[in-house]
Structure 1
Amino acid sequence: MKRGLFLFIVLLVPMVFFGCTGSNTEQDKILCKINEYSMPLNEFQRQLTQEIELERDFKLTQEAKKAFLEELIKKELLIQEAKKLKLDRRDKFIRAIERYWESTLIRDLMEQKNDEINNRVYVSEEEIDARCNEIKKSEGKDLSDLNKLKEGIKAQIREEKKTRMLDDWISNLRKNSNIEIREDLL
């Protein structure tokens, strides 16, 4: 028992004197303070990386880093001033955020569903040949010309199938939901 206590004290004393917080990690480094806001170094680096990706001709120099930091400081000062004036509590602002959130959510859902549908849609040679025959009958085109267009026909059939699957999915969402409409209020 005494030996365990001794080991505990021996291990605890250096941690108390030298600290064990690990405050030298990247995420704990504060690049700058703007009033009450502290900008971590890793947040600056993340935003700088995004800027470099968006601006292809961005030259990463020490001067460019300083200029970018100045832009972030201006942005934060403007945000703080807007909050001080309670602009972030106005109905107009809240509605704009809600619309943005909703449209982003819908966009992400549609992208996910589109990826899912893309992985399930295929076009067979029989479907392409059947479409070629339809075109030949309706427009009287020579099949040798249509053979050159097969890739375009395949892409068109693929898009039609994807659209149909997406429409069916949305119809099923509606069918499986409880929707009540008060026609008298329209």
Structure 2
Amino acid sequence: IVTDHEAIPWLKKHKQPKGRLARWIIHLSEYEPYNIIKRKGSDHTNADALSRLETNPVDKQNFNPIENFEESLNRRISALKGIFIDAQIINHRNIQHAQELQRNRQQNLKKAQTYEVNDIILLYDSAKQHVHGDKFSIRWNGPFWIQSKLGNNTYLIRDKLGRILQKPIHAEKMKHYKQRYLVEPHVVIAS
């Protein structure tokens, strides 16, 4: 018997078997004389000999080798190339769609808001744009008021005291100031 099962040769060498092992040895002794040879599974030359399934012999008349190997290989390669070209077209469409969505989002974010004279605004502090250590630092200063409009997106602004800032400010550095209204608590004392 040629096997790759480690336990069968060990079973034959076992000195004093008990219980289930003893029953297996008695069962195998019915087939005496036999010799157990242990081989690795990768060393077995005929794997079908180990299988319990019946195998049909290969009919050489039905076995048709490829007459023109080059031609069939070229057909297969061209079919695979066609699949890849279709995949490239689909990927190209997906990338264009994603780029269009991203472009629209960026344009919506970059839309410059229009401000009127005497609008209350906050001014973005660009010096704190790349500060990573203090994430709770205040990046918007203000409130400021629009003094005058210089161009499409540039404005002169003034502070609380009425001083006009010397540099014109671009609309990207401003946002509308949303004023908080303090509500007086309504307290009723019942007596």
The TM-score bracket by the shorter chain reads: under 0.3
Structure with greater proportional helix content: 1
Structure with greater proportional strand content: 2
TM-score (norm 1): 0.23
Give the structure, 1 or 2, with the largest relative contact order (CA under 8 Å, sep 6 or more). Answer: 2
